[in-house]
Amino acid sequence: MIQSLLIANRGEIACRIIRTARAMGIRTVAVYSDADAKALHVRQADEAVHIGASPARESYLVGEKIIAAALAIGAEAIHPGYGFLSENAEFAQAVIDAGLIWVGPRPASITAMGLKDAAKTLMAAAGVPVTPGYMGENQDPAFLADRAAEIGYPVLIKAVAGGGGKGMRKVEAVANFADALASCQREATASFGNAHVLIEKYIQRPRHIEVQIFGDTHGNIVHLFERDCSLQRRHQKVIEEAPAPGMDAATREILCAAAVKAAKAVDYVGAGTIEFIADASEGLRADRIWFMEMNTRLQVEHPVTEEITGVDLVEWQLRVASGEALPKRQEELSINGWAMEARLYAEDPAKGFLPSVGRLEGFRLSSYECRVETGYEEGDWVSPFYDPMIAKIVVHSASREETADRLSSACASALVWPVRTNSSFLSRGAAEPEFVAGQVDTGFIERHELNLCTRRGPDEKTLQIGISEVLKRVEQPDLDKRAMRDRRFAIDLHGLRLNSNRKNAHWIAVDGRALELSPNYKGGTAWNIEYVGESGVLVSDDDGQLVHFDVARTDGSAHGPASSGTILSPMPGRIIAVEVAQGQTVTKGQKLLTLEAMKMEHSLIAPFGGVVAELNAVAGAQVQVEALLARIQPVEQT
């Protein structure tokens, strides 16, 4: 068995691997960039090695640094996690050449499945059904246009070296083909250095179904059933589940057998996923499911397979890499219940899914009857350098309906502040009747996006007025703050009813359903109030919108996204005064600049003490809403 393991990744997958390795008695080594010096995976590992600057291209993507770190610290093996270098055959070979154990498939298998056109040709030769299309070498635009016409519109143009939705275009008619092809090739060249494309039939009601396979060095290959990853936004997975809804036993047997056949065609070792595209216009049928691609690594969504099979896939990876045979035979594997996973991203769906970064001053994810995979704890920083996924929320229960209901509740209860997340977007998606009924396909989110993203709560001004009244009462001496933490209490003033019937070691939770913000507000949104020590209250609605109010202020002022250190213009206006300079040290509450808008002056202040790391404000300049005016960096982060 491997005795020491370096994890060439970060975030939740690094923490996930560390957990299993530690349970197996394996010493773990983390690697980290400048931005991740205090990250959770660094704190959890037995040892950690610094490998470079914050940008991934200067740290996590530099294979030589990772191998050098493993050799210097005496690690025996390298696990790549997923992303970064996990499907890089040259890196895998370099690890092996350095005398280290590579926890992954053979480099030749990675190479064979790395290009979509070559992989499809290989699969067709192996008898695995592939999507109708053209995968040849001739890249002449006129020739490709003819092939598209033969296949029949709509068609999909895909970069052969693509991934993550890049270098992919849907074309509805011949008149749009030339422009779409040129655009696709430009993006493919910029992203992958390869303009080569393939053309395939566009499936009208596609389902994205993948099969988890696993092989060992003794010639054994098994499947661990299928997952449905159809809920996607711009080709990025959002909610995954296992098994696939509507999959009957006969179709499952044919699909999984095809996946095993595909794995055997490349002599596969380790964890891998065979991805299929299904035409679900007439339900799931074996003759309407085709091979799409293979991921030669562990998938982000692997926990749902673990939940329904009771298998620890990371443990299997480590055992296979150590030369052991697969722990179970095919006949010993079965499906138990249903599992779903939601990807919690640091982004704001109500603002076009803009990424959100900053310090997680509040970070509480439900652990009640659900599994949470994350690389963050309260107080950690969400960096702008890496993927915005901050957690995975996984639920497993006996039925699909129960699982969807519990997933929706778990997502709704997530409390993350001031960083914005897609928690309410996920909660609504899991509760959407069409989803609950199993009517899923890759167009689901596009059809429902307006409903999933629209906030329904009262405007922030209404909230400010109501909470300022609560804060005035909180400051009154007759309210025992210690009693607030220890027992049920109620405040009733000016139509505002604030009830508490729960306790928590750090937070005071208030039942928002008993809070009416204004007699004029007719909406039905529930509001939750969290009493944060002596500093203030954190207010959230069921849309995931959170606002922080300082106890010291009773004028209704709120600290929103600025608490991350990023100072954005709250509205279009003109800067009339700039009070600080770049590099200057400031204190909490210090005025940074003054904005004139809507015939009023608005002072923007420092949310905490630190240094003015960035300053884009110039007196007299006109600015648009949410323009980045300044960024305050805490002293400990400089």
Catalytic residues: 297
CA dihedral defined by 93, 97, 101, 104, rounded to 10 degrees?
A: 10
- Residue 260's H or E segment, with its range, is helix 249-265
Distance CA 119, CA 211 (A): 16
Q: What are phi and psi of 369, to 5 degrees?
A: 55, 35
- Residue 487 CB: number of other CB atoms within 10 A? 11
Q: CA 613, 632, 554 angle in degrees (round to 5)?
A: 160
Question: Identity (one letter) of the amino acid at 228?
Answer: D
Distance CA 129, CA 25 (A): 43
From 108, 105, 110, 107, select the one nearest 320 (Cα to Cα): 105
From 32, 87, 81, 86, select the one nearest 60 (Cα to Cα): 32
On whether the CB atoms of residues 210 and 293 are closer than 8 A, the answer is no
Indicate the DSSP class of residue 229.
Answer: E
Number of alpha carbons in the 13 Å side-chain half-sphere of residue 333: 23
Q: What are phi and psi of 280, to 5 degrees?
A: -95, 15
From 259, 511, 236, 269, select the one nearest 388 (Cα to Cα): 236
Q: CA 28, 34, 39 angle in degrees (round to 5)?
A: 50
Angle between helices 400-412 and 423-431 (to 10 degrees): 160
3-state helix, strand, coil in the chain (%, to 5): 30, 30, 35
Sign of CA dihedral 65, 71, 74, 78: positive
How far from 154 is each of 88, 142, 180, 192, 637, CA to CA, in Å?
33, 17, 12, 25, 51
On whether the CB atoms of residues 173 and 199 are closer than 8 A, the answer is no
- Residue 232's H or E segment, with its range, is strand 221-233
Q: What residues are paired with 206 via a beta bridge?
A: 279
Q: Can you say whether residue 390 is alpha, beta or left, with left for phi > 0 and alpha for psi between -120 and 50 degrees?
A: alpha
| Cis preceding-peptide flag for 154 (omega within 30 of 0) | yes
Distance CA 297, CA 385 (A): 23
Would you call 561 helix, strand, or coil by DSSP? Answer: helix
From 365, 358, 355, select the one nearest 389 (Cα to Cα): 355
From 376, 367, 444, 374, select the one nearest 406 (Cα to Cα): 367
